Structure 1
Amino acid sequence: MQLTGIRKYLTFLKMYRLRYRFPLPFLLYASRLARYEKLVKIKDKIVFSSFVPPYPSKAFDRFIASAGKKIPTSVYISVTNKCRYDCWHCSSRYRTDKELTTEEITKMIKDFQDMGVSVFGFTGGEPLLRQDIPEIIRLVDDRSSTVLFTSGDAFTAEKAKELKGAGLFSVVVSLDHFKEEMHDFLRGRKGAFETAVDAIEISKKHGFYTVISMVVTKQLLDSIFDFLGFAEKMKVDEVRILEPVPCGRLIKEKIMLSDEDREKLIDVHKIANRSSKYPRVSVFPYIESKHMIGCTAGIDHLYIDAAGNVCPCDFTPLSFGNIKTESIKTILERMHTYFDRPREKCFMAEHYQEIAKEFDDKLPLSVEKSIEICRRCKPSGSTDFYKKLLS
Structure 2
Amino acid sequence: MKNHHHIVVLGAGYAGMMATARLARRMRRTNARITLVNPSARFTERLRLHQIAAGRQLADFQIPKLLAGTRVAFVAGTATAIDPRARTVAVDGSPTILRYDTLVYALGSATDTSTVPGADVHCYTLNGPENAARLAARLGGVAAAGGAVTVCGGGLTGVEAATEIAEAHPRLNVTLLSVDEPGSMMGAKARKHLYQALSRLGVTVRAGARVTKVLADSVELADGELVAADVCVWTTGVTVSPLAREAGIATDERGLVLVDATLRSVSHPDIHAIGDAAAIRLAWGQVHGTCQSGIPTGQYTADTIARLLRGKSVKPFRYGYFHQPVSLGRRDAVIQFTHADDTPRRAYLKGRAAIFYKEKLVSSTPLTTYRLHRYMYVTGTLSKGGRATRAM
Given the two structures, how large is their TM-score scaled by the length of structure 2? 0.28
Highest CA radius of gyration, 1 or 2?
2
Higher strand share: 2
